[in-house]
Amino acid sequence: MAANPRSGTKRLTGGGHGGAAALLLLLCCTASMALTPDGEALLELKLAFNATAGQRLGSWRAADPNPCGWEGVSCSFPDLRVQAINLPYMQLGGIISPSIGRLTKLQRLALHQNSLHGPIPAEIRSCTELRAIYLRANYLQGGIPPGIGDLTHLTILDLSSNLLRGAIPATIGSLTHLRFLNLSTNFFSGEIPNVGVLGTFKSSSYVGNLELCGLPIQKGCRGTLGFPAVLPHSDPLSSSGVSPITNNNKTSHFLNGVVIGSMSTMAVALVAVLGFLWVCLLSRKKNGVNYEKMDKQTVPDGAKLVTYQWNLPYSSGEIIRRLELLDEEDVVGCGGFGTVYKMVMDDGTAFAVKRIDLNRERRDKTFEKELEILGSIRHINLVNLRGYCRLSTAKLLIYDFMELGSLDSYLHGDAQEDQPLNWNARMKIALGSARGLAYLHHDCSPGIVHRDIKASNILLDRCLEPRVSDFGLARLLVDNETHVTTVVAGTFGYLAPGVPAKRALDREIRRV
């Protein structure tokens, strides 16, 4: 029996209304497969990160229309809006894209312990649902955007251990729900605004910002013309809350006359200082051109130079030549891991160079990998590792040079007689050293156990700020069950607390 052509055509088209319904269903399915606006914003965030993000965030793909299943992303239901981004310890670099402002339902942003740089985008003010911001231990620069005061639901703000600078915005004081604030170990300056909740946080929220002042840290500020708002007092008791004796009217008039009479002198001095800084800046730019040219010079065969954190303003050839000229006259100390030299560049800048004993080093790749981790660590109470040089005859670590040397030499040398340490200075050194060690133990990933802490491994800068040195050279503490510590490193006769107990535990694990 022959088929009716019209009936066949009718079946193929679904018959009028049926075909239209099928087409509409197909269009709806296609639309539902399109990437959501939040997903598009996340992909722009990924693009702003470095190449590591491509590996770590492999699930962030445009082919997957549902960002709620992506690594570190949480969503609310049923609207499928991005509610949280949790990407700590991911070795992410690059910047935070302004696209973050399009995630208007975001409640938690956790990007701490990465290598992000650049500013905190001002667009973050559009994320009005934010409850918690964790951005500590990155390389973020610039200031805190004032618009952060628009995040009225914010309860946690952690921006510690970055390179942020400038004034602390008074708008943060309007965040009535803020319960945790950590702005420590940055470069903030000026007076801490005594408004709203900003005046309720303790000094630990601001520690490590040397140019900050104000009531929360009990440090007097200077007036707008550079004069102290509170008269300076050399007596240590002045910092303990003891009130000064009130001056009479004659003394007040006298002081006012002195202040007014000094204004013109201070203005001239200020202009002179600014002119000097401008000349230095121009000179530095010229020097930068010279260094750039010198980088093209030949580096000795077999030599390798790696710099960390900040590029040194010298050519590789110049640094290596200086290293090769070091001899016994440049020795400033000997530690548990090798000899320490003082290297002075042509411009007078000094660095400490530690020569690693060859019989103490591990394989090159492992050794250099550990140095890469140590070179990324920054804290005001830790000595900065600036670079690593491998020569044919030695391996050298380049550190910042501390003018006052070690605490041990200061206490038992001539410096103690010339400028004895009072109790305030001793307390400052003790607390600073403890903060440095706490950062190594709790904020580094993996955690680092010093295993050779002593007075000779605590260095002092010209302001008596302590810097813990030699950290991480014994061994990185790897947080896994297979790690067994078998070597006591550092000073002979010294055993870090907890090592015997850990060894006993390791033996029990091996028996099992």
CA distances to 317, 327, 343, 387 from 350, rounded to whole Å, are: 17, 15, 6, 14
Burial class (CB in 10 A: 0-12, 13-18, 19+), 24: exposed
Quote the mean pLDDT of the chain: 74
Residue 423 in any domain: the answer is yes
Above 50 in pLDDT, residue 225? Answer: no
326-348 pLDDT, tens per residue? 876 787 876 556 678 889 988 88
Same domain, 327 and 220: no
**Do residues 224 and 338 both lie within one domain?**
no
The residue among 174, 199, 228 that closes a domain is: 228
Q: Is 454 annotated as a binding residue?
A: no
Is the same domain home to 168 and 84? yes
Judge whether residue 511 has pLDDT over 90.
Answer: no
Q: What's the mean pLDDT in 472-482? A: 47
Q: Are residues 338 and 224 in the same domain?
A: no
- pLDDT at res. 367: 73
- Catalytic residue list contains 408: no
Q: What pLDDT is recorded for position 267?
A: 63
Answer whether residue 378 is part of any domain: yes
**pLDDT of amino acid 218:** 83
Locate 415 and state its tokens: 């410096």
Closest by CA to 489, choosing from 445, 452, 459, is 452
pLDDT of residue 392 exceeding 90, the answer is: no
Structure tokens at 435: 């903060």
Model pTM above 0.85: no
Helix, strand, or coil (residue 480): coil
| CATH number, domain with residue 318 | 1.10.510.10
Sort residue 352 into left (φ over 0), alpha (ψ -120 to 50) or beta: beta
Q: Are residues 317 and 201 in the same domain?
A: no
Q: Assess whether 43 and 153 both reside in one domain.
A: yes
Tell whether 366 is covered by a domain: yes
Same domain, 203 and 351: no
pLDDT tier at 265 (50, 70, 90 boundaries)? low
Collapsing DSSP states into helix, strand and coil, what is residue 346?
coil
Residue 393 lies in a domain: yes
Domain assignment present for 8: no
* pLDDT exceeds 50 at position 6: no
- Whether residue 239 is contained in a domain is answered as no
Three-state DSSP state, 304:
strand
Burial 83-107 (b: 16+ CB within 10 A, else e): bbbebbebebbbbbbbbbbbbebbb
**pLDDT number for residue 101:** 95
Q: Is 66 left (phi over 0), alpha (psi -120 to 50) or beta?
A: beta
Same domain, 190 and 104: yes
DSSP assignment of 56-72: HTTT--TT---GGGSTT
**Across residues 419-448, what is the average pLDDT?**
86
- 224 with 315, same domain? no
Lowest mean pLDDT among 179-193, 266-280, 344-358: 266-280
Instruction: State how many domains the chain has.
Output: 2
Q: 209 in a domain, yes or no?
A: yes
Tell me the mean pLDDT in the region 191-211.
88
Reduced to 3 states, what is the DSSP secondary structure of residue 355?
A: strand
Residue 375 has pLDDT above 90, yes or no: no
Contacts of 134 (CB under 8 A, 6+ apart): 88, 109, 110, 111, 112, 156, 158
Q: Which of 30-34, 63-67, 165-169, 409-413 has the lowest mean pLDDT?
A: 30-34
Question: Has residue 508 been placed in a domain?
Answer: no
Instruction: Give the confidence band of 420 by pLDDT, cuts at 50, 70, 90.
Output: confident
Give pLDDT, residue 215.
Answer: 86
Q: Within this chain, do residues 54 and 157 fall inside the same structural domain, yes or no?
A: yes
Which of 170, 196, 228 delimits the end of a domain? 228
Decide if pLDDT at 186 tops 80: yes
Residue ending a domain, choose from 180, 196, 228: 228
Question: Taking residues 237-242, what's their average pLDDT?
Answer: 36
What range defines the domain where residue 343 resides? 304-480
Residue-wise burial string across 312-347, b where 16 or more C-beta atoms lie within 10 A, e elsewhere: bebbbbbbbebbeebeeeeeebebbbbbbbebeeee
pLDDT for the residue numbered 135: 94
Q: What is the mean pLDDT of residues 147-160?
A: 93
Do 133 and 217 reside in the same domain of the chain?
A: yes
pLDDT value of residue 310:
60
Instruction: Assess whether pLDDT exceeds 70 at residue 111.
Output: yes
Which of the residues 452, 461, 470, 506 is marked catalytic? 452
Q: How far is CA 419 from the centre of its chain?
A: 33
pLDDT tens for each residue of 19-39:
555 444 444 444 446 788 999
CATH of the domain at 115: 3.80.10.10
Question: CA-to-CA distance for 136 and 159, rounded, in angstroms?
Answer: 5
Provide the 8-state DSSP code for 120.
P
